[in-house]
Amino acid sequence: MEHYQDIRDAVARLCARFPGEYWRALDRDMAYPGEFVGALTEAGWLSILIPEAYGGSGLPLSAAAAVLEEIQRAGCNGGACHAQMYTMGTLLRHGSEAQKQQYLSKIATGELRLQAFGVTEPTSGTDTGALKTTARLDGDHFVVKGQKIWTSRAEHSDLMLLLARTTPLKDGMKKTDGLSVLIVDMREAVGNGLTIRPIRTMMNHATTEVFFDDLRVPAENLIGEEGKGFRYILSGMNAERILIAAECVGDAKWFIEKASIYAKERHVFGRAIGQNQGIQFPIARAYANMRAAELMVREALNLYEAGKNPGAEANMAKMLAADASNEAANVCIQTHGGFGFAEEYDVERKFRETRLYQVAPISTNLILSYLSEHVLGLPRSY
C-alpha cells in the first residue's frame, strides 16, 4: 500500500503554519480554527476523496488517512473538519447524479461545507434505530421535527446530512428500516425551523445540539431511496472508523515524540529522567501499541481498497488506535510531571482531545459487542 510521503510532507508543511500557540488561543475561547480549515480546503486536502469528475483528487482512502494522520501528528486537530471526508461518501455512493453535480463540485472548491452529520439523539444514543426525529412528506417537501445532539461543526457548515424517520415504526418492522437521509441546507434553515445551540465540552470541538421545528426540506434533497437511510449511513462507517483510527495513530506519534524529547532533556537527580526505566518503559510500550494499531489500520485500508467489507478490521483499528493514543497521552502527561498540566506544553490539550475517541464516533463497548457477535459468534448482548 502506498505511503503517500509527498502528501505527508505537504500536509506537515501546511500544519507548521499552525503551531501550538494558534491552537491554545482557540482552545481558551472555544473558537473554530477557520483559518486552518480554510488552508486545508484551499490546498485541496479535504476534497482528496471526491472523484476528479467533480473537481476532487479522486484518491483512495489511504491518501485521506495519510492526510488526517499527519494533521494529528503535527499537533493540529482534524476534528474541526474530518467529517467532510466521510460524510461526502454517503452522497457519492447513494446520491443521484443531479445531487452529486449540485453539491460535490462546490464542496471540492470549498464553496460549500459539508461538515455536519446529524445522527445521534439525546434519548436514543447509540440505539440509532430508536431515534425520534421525523421527516413527514407534505407535497414537495419533508417537514422535519425533532432534536439531534452532538451535531459537531453545525455552526461552521453549510450542509448537514440528517438521518430521520420517514416511516413510522409499526409492529414487526425492523427498527432500522423507515429511516432516511436528507441533505439539509442550513444556510436557509437557520431561523426557519432550525435552531443550533453550542455545547461547551472538555475540548474545543464546536459541537452543538440542533432543534427541528417543522423545518421544510425539499423532497429532492432525499438521498437514495426513502426508508433505506440507516443502510446508507452504515455503508460509510468503515471509512469513518478507519479515518478516525488514522487520526489516533497520528496523535499517538505526537505524544510519543513529545514524551521522548522531554525525557531526554529533563534532568532530575543529576541525570535525564529518560534514563530511568520507570520513564522509558511506558513510552516504549506506548510505541509498540501504536505500531500494532498502525498495522491494523493498514490491514483495514488494504481490505477496504480491495472492495471487501472490513467491518471487523475497521472496528478493531478504531479501538486499538484510540487505546494507543489514550495510553500515549497518559504516558506523555506522566513523563512531563507537573509541566504536563501546563497549557503551554500542549500536552494537556491534546490529552483532552484524544480522549474523545474512546466514546465517539462509536464507543469501545459497542466495538467489543460487534466483535463478540459478528466475529466470535457469541449471542448478541443487547
Q: Which is nearer to ligand FAD, 198 or 337 (CB)?
A: 198
Q: Are strands 134-138 and 141-149 parallel, antiparallel or unpaired?
A: antiparallel
Which region, judged by CB under 6 A, interacts with ligand FAD, from 117-125, 220-228, 245-253, 295-303?
117-125
Is position 366 an interface residue for ligand FAD (rule: CB under 6 A)? yes
Residue from the set 136, 363, 371, 373 that interacts with ligand FAD by CB under 6 A: 363
Residue from the set 10, 219, 284, 359 that interacts with ligand FAD by CB under 6 A: 359
Which region, judged by CB under 6 A, interacts with ligand FAD, from 34-42, 50-58, 252-260, 356-364?
356-364
Is position 120 an interface residue for ligand FAD (rule: CB under 6 A)? yes
Which region, judged by CB under 6 A, interacts with ligand FAD, from 42-50, 100-108, 111-119, 218-226?
111-119
Task: Quote the least distance from Cβ 356 to ligand FAD, whole Å.
Answer: 5
Is position 369 an interface residue for ligand FAD (rule: CB under 6 A)? yes
Task: Quote the least distance from Cβ 40 to ligand FAD, whole Å.
Answer: 18
Instruction: Tell the burial category of 246 from Cβ atoms under 10 Å away from its Cβ (0-12, 13-18, 19+).
Output: buried
Q: Which is nearer to ligand FAD, 12 or 359 (CB)?
A: 359
Task: Quote the least distance from Cβ 376 to ligand FAD, whole Å.
Answer: 15
What are the grid coordinates assigned to 45, written together?
Answer: 486536502
**Binding track over 191-230 against ligand FAD, x by CB under 6 A:** ----------x---x-x-----------------------
Query: Which residue number is nearest to ligand FAD in terms of Cβ?
Result: 125
Task: Quote the least distance from Cβ 262 to ligand FAD, whole Å.
Answer: 28
Q: Which is nearer to ligand FAD, 176 or 280 (CB)?
A: 176
Task: Quote the least distance from Cβ 280 to ligand FAD, whole Å.
Answer: 33
Which region, judged by CB under 6 A, interacts with ligand FAD, from 144-152, 246-254, 261-269, 318-326?
144-152
Taking the C-alpha atoms of residue 250 and residue 39, their distance in angstroms, rounded to an integer, is 20
Task: Quote the least distance from Cβ 181 to ligand FAD, whole Å.
Answer: 12
Radius of gyration over alpha carbons of the chain, in Å? 21
Q: Residue 155: CB partners within 8 Å, gap ≥ 6?
A: 32, 196, 198, 206, 208
Q: Which is nearer to ligand FAD, 14 or 144 (CB)?
A: 144
Taking the C-alpha atoms of residue 217 and residue 138, their distance in angstroms, rounded to an integer, is 10
Residues that bind ligand FAD (CB under 6 A): 117-120, 125-126, 150-152, 201, 205, 207, 356, 359-363, 365-366, 369, 381-382
